[in-house]
Amino acid sequence: MQHRLIVVTDRHGCPRSLADQVALALRGGPFALILRDKDLPWEERHRLTAGIGLLVAEAGGVLIVADPEGPVAAAHLSSSRPVPDPRPVLVGRSVHAGEPIDPGLDYCTYSPVWATASKPGYGPAAGTDGLAAVCAASPVPVYALGGVTGPDRALAAREAGAAGVAVMGAVMRADDPEHEIRALRGALL
């Protein structure tokens, strides 16, 4: 994947509509966006894909759909979900401590790297040493996820060998998501 920054959606944390939050974030530069919000019925997520996907594409980003229930160009899968058939052009997966990394993926997110409220049941935070070990052994690019609260942690993840970072709260809850994206992108370049 060409982007070092992945933003994961969470419409419940946004101070405005999800589409508006994403549009403001994109002013800070392009990124890959995982449309998560899996509590929505597939039909509603699919509709969001069309509108938000256009915003992301026009800004030079990539839209990735989490656990899709229909054909998509890019999919991000939970650890237990099989790769869809037909295979999307881009496929990533969530990986947690001790789980194998499928060499047939295009990338994976590894979490939690730092303690985070959104990943309480996935074991202790790996820290940068744990992340470095996973990155060194991984057959695919690894994106650090969990507790990436700003540019310092994004830089630490890159220094540990991560291809980039995936963030949710830092951007989805931000009053100024454009500023957050600029700061994160600056640390990752």
Cβ atoms of residues 7 and 37 within 8 Å: no
Whole-number Å distance between alpha carbons of 148 and 48: 25
Whole-number Å distance between alpha carbons of 126 and 141: 17
pLDDT at site 122: 66
User: Is residue 119's pLDDT more than 80?
Assistant: no
- pLDDT-based confidence at residue 117 (cuts at 50, 70, 90): confident
- pLDDT-based confidence at residue 73 (cuts at 50, 70, 90): very high
Cβ atoms of residues 143 and 161 within 8 Å: no
Which has the minimum average pLDDT: 82-86, 158-162, 163-167? 82-86
pTM over 0.85? The answer is yes
Over residues 39-66, the pLDDT tens digits come to: 999 999 999 999 999 999 999 999 999 9
Domain that holds residue 88: 5-188
- pLDDT-based confidence at residue 120 (cuts at 50, 70, 90): low
pLDDT at site 97: 86
Average pLDDT in the 123-134 region?
Answer: 93
User: Is residue 137's pLDDT more than 80?
Assistant: yes
ω before 124 within 30° of 0 (cis)? no
Give the β-pairing of 32-35 and 62-66: parallel
Cβ atoms of residues 126 and 112 within 8 Å: yes
pLDDT at site 116: 83
pLDDT at site 37: 94
CATH number of the domain enclosing 158: 3.20.20.70
pLDDT at site 98: 87
With a pLDDT cut of 70, the percent of the chain lying above it is: 97
Number of domains forming the structure of the chain: 1
Average pLDDT in the 168-175 region?
Answer: 96
